[in-house]
Amino acid sequence: MRFGLIQNYSSDIAEIADAVDAYETAGLDTIAVAEAYSFDAVSRLGYLAAKTQTIGLMSNIFQLYTRTPSLTAMTAASLDSLAPGGFTLGLGASGPQVIEGFHGVPYDAPLGRMREIVEICRQIWRREPVVHEGKHYSVPLSRERGGSGLGKPLKLINPMARPDIPISIAALGPQSVAQVAEIADGWQPIFFDPELASKVWGESLEAGTAKRRPELGPLDIQVQVFFAFGDPSPEAVMRIRAYLALYIGGMGAKGKNFYNDIVSKYGFDAEAAEIQDLYLAGRRAEAVAAVPDELVHGVTLMGDPERLRRRVAGFAAAGVTELLLAPVAETAEQRLDDVISLLGAVRDSGTAQR
């Protein structure tokens, strides 16, 4: 099991940057930087690359629609050359609220676009002249697709630090998860309960793995998880419940909310329906109160050292290869202490290996 740390959308990057030495000494593997409609992740990742010596960096996530495929590949190549611990390209579709509401571009064909972007990125990293003619992207842009016809295939100028930068994709729906298992190096699910996840994604993972090229190796599973060393404060638990209620209840209309579908498939179908009804009716406090305690405990990593060791072992048994920690402690000092304490407790017991 590897361990990473999530840099939240709105938190100060200096909190992590100033503590990099302590995290490296403790053995942290990865720092993942989020991007939604916040400060951009690329600038922050570049800043962290100058601070780290051993910790890998990861985007969590770059959205499909906000950069061209070639710019995505260029950015990943640049970050991989700067980060001593290497860079993992985290990609995801995001959703219409962000893509259309903030960026003002159509949210369309996420499956097809993802496949083509992965193909183009890998071609660029091999430093081949880029030639791609797909349903969604044409490189060079042909006359038939609105180009002048003057563009010629080009290849990346710089030598690559690595020609095989890992690609990890955030996906939830059956088709998208199957595609991830087929084409990606890693998968980033959300609300992952290690005891129940196979009910939701087992068949999709099997279907995609059956088409997977052997040279890709086994699929990494990188799970973002709320974390506390010891018992979290009531306020922290309430923030987790509110986060779950927002996604289960408010991220999509009825019948079009993947987060609600996950919770329903976990066996909380009545609770998921109630949370959504309350949330969409504007009764948000009641929606938060309706989030089951079992769900909160199932998708988080919190408790005393012995419970944490058991939970980490459970995630590993479910195929998870990296836990991306989102500490819920109230202060920066306590968040740092909690992560260091977890790494010490788990690795000293032999539960996890670097």
Q: Which two tokens stand for residue 94?
A: 């995001």
pLDDT over 90 for what percent of the chain?
A: 90
Give the pLDDT confidence of 40-87 residue by residue, as tens digits: 999 999 999 999 999 999 999 999 999 999 999 999 999 999 999 999
Q: Which two tokens stand for residue 112?
A: 């097809």
pLDDT (average), residues 32-42? 93
pTM exceeding the 0.85 threshold for the entire prediction: yes
d(Cα 104, Cα 124) in Å, to the nearest integer? Answer: 27
Name the band, by pLDDT with cuts 50, 70 and 90, for residue 347: confident
Phi-psi region of 33 (alpha: psi -120 to 50; beta: other; left: phi over 0): beta
Give the pLDDT confidence of 108-164 residue by residue, as tens digits: 999 999 999 999 999 999 999 999 999 999 999 999 899 998 999 999 999 999 989
pLDDT of residue 97: 80
Whether the CB-CB separation of 262 and 210 falls below 8 Å is answered with: no
d(Cα 250, Cα 246) in Å, to the nearest integer? Answer: 5
For residues 103-114, b (16+ Cβ closer than 10 Å) or e, as one string? eeeebeebeebb
pLDDT (average), residues 14-41? 94
Give the pLDDT confidence of 181-201 residue by residue, as tens digits: 999 999 999 999 999 999 999
